[in-house]
Homo-oligomer: A and B are copies of this chain.
Amino acid sequence: MPDHLAEQLRARGYRLTPQRLAILRILNEAGDHLSPVEVFERARSKMPGLTEATVYRTLSFLHRQGILLAGHIGSGNLVYEVASHLHHHLICRDCGESLEIGHEAMEDLYQRLNKETGFALDESHVTLFGLCPVCQ
Q: Which residues of A are interface residues toward B (Cβ below 8 A)? A: 60, 70, 72, 75-76, 78, 90, 92-93, 99, 101, 105-106, 108-109, 112-113, 116-122, 124, 126-133, 136
CB atoms of B131 and A117 under 8 A apart: no
Knowing A108-B109, A130-B122, the reply to whether A101 touches B76 (Cβ < 8 A) is no
Q: How many copies does the complex hold?
A: 2
Q: Judging by beta carbons under 8 Å apart, are A119 and B90 in contact? A: yes
Chain B residues contacting A90 (CB-CB under 8 Å) are: 113, 117, 119, 121
- A-B contacts, 11 listed (Cβ < 8 Å): A72-B76, A76-B76, A76-B78, A90-B119, A92-B119, A101-B116, A113-B128, A120-B130, A121-B128, A122-B130, A126-B128
